[in-house]
Structure formats: structure tokens, C-alpha cells
Chain A
Amino acid sequence: MYAQNGSAFMADEDLLYTVLADLKRTVREYTTAATESNCQAVRRVFNDLTMDTLRLQGELYTQMSQMNMYTPPGKALRQDLDKQIQTAQQTQQKCQQFVQQKIGGAGNYTQAANVPLHQANVHSQNPYYM
């Protein structure tokens, strides 16, 4: 077959898991590089590489799942989901009120029900804004 010697260095599962972890890290680094690019040509390349690496990571994950090499994560409970929806709707309402206070009721600001608001952690201390 494909083995060069009798005993494998590591199980296929472990080796592919390492590749999967490195793909995740590489996607993050490409994203960061794109946001910090000054030259548009460089940004475009990092953007394209982000998308392609994301695709490769997704494909590998799917293939590993199909070979039962990856245990799917546990399901979120209904009560936790209900609670999050309630909190999110309150957050959305308060956000809309804030916007109306700041820009007035005459604006056309509408928040589609299925469009998520920005997550709070997006605004965490990011030292990389250009």
C-alpha cells in the first residue's frame, strides 16, 4: 500500500487532526494579514488565500467526519437557546433605541430580524487597526 514501513509514525487520525488545526491557524493568520495590508494587491492575495484555506479546512473537516475521525460537538440545549434569543432580542431593541436617539427617528434604520447584530467581542482590544 502506501506505507513505507510497518509501523506508522502516528495514526492517520492524529496526523490529519494536526493538519486541521494548522489550517485553522493559517486561516486566522491570512485574515489578520488581509486586515493589516496597505497595498490593495497584497490585500487581495491575502483575501483570496483566506477564502481558499477556509474551503480546504472545511473539506478536510467533512472528510474526517465521514471517516469517523472527528466526534461532532454536543448539541446546545433548548433552554440555553431560548435564553440567548431573549437576550439577543433585548440587545437588538436597546441598540435600535440608541441609534434612534443618536440619528433621530426620521432615518430609515431597520434591523432585519434574521440579521445578527455585531457581536460584542468584535470590539475587543484589537491593536491591529490600520
Chain B
Amino acid sequence: MQSTQMQALSGKELEYIADSISNEDLLIKQLAATAGTTQNSTVHQICVQQIQSHSHHMSTLIQLLQQHQQYAPTQPQ
């Protein structure tokens, strides 16, 4: 662990964030597809609630990328 200061993302961190965004995207789509086909109101409600949480996760991950944008070097170091 390094200092608490904001710093440039490592290549690995960037890959994990990108993979996580894909995971959240897949979860949201699966939940939306389930909500769209179910005839059970409980299942529909569960899906809608989960979609809200995962959409929030995706926004958090995108914000994380944006927060580190200014620290990223423009040339390989």
C-alpha cells in the first residue's frame, strides 16, 4: 500500500476496473431480461432493486476512472 494521495492507475488496476464494468454490465442486462420476461411480481421487484444497485456500481467504477484520468502519463514510463 502506498500513500493516500491520488496517483496514476497501474495497468493491472485499469484492467480490473474494465473487467468489473463488464461484469456489472452483464448483471444489469441479465436482470433486465429476467424482469422483462417474468410473470412473477416478486421476481420483477427483486430484479429492479438489483439493477439499481448494479447501475450504481457501474457509475462508481466510471467515476474511479475519471478521477485518475489527470494522473495518467501520456507516454509509457
Contact = CB atoms under 8 A, between A and B. Distances in A.
Interface of A: 1-5, 8-10, 12, 15-16, 18-19, 22-23, 25-26, 29-30, 32-33, 36-43, 45-46, 48-49, 52-53, 56, 60, 63, 67
A19 B60 CA distance: 20
Contacts, number: 115
B30 A19 contact: yes
A15 B1 contact: no
B50 A37 contact: no
A29 B16 contact: yes
Nearest to B63: A45
B69 interface: no
Interface of B: 1-4, 6-7, 9-10, 12-13, 16-17, 19-20, 23-24, 26-27, 30-31, 33-44, 46, 50, 53-54, 57, 60-61, 64, 67-68
Nearest to B54: A56
B19 A16 contact: no
A19 B34 contact: yes
B23 A26 contact: yes
A53 B57 contact: yes
Contacts of B19: 29
B65 to A, nearest CB: 10
Contact of B41 (A1, A53, A63): A1
Contact of A39 (B13, B39, B46): B13
Given A19-B27, A22-B27, A49-B60, A37 B38 contact: no
Given A3-B38, A39-B2, A39-B6, A22 B53 contact: no
Nearest to A23: B27
A38 B13 contact: yes
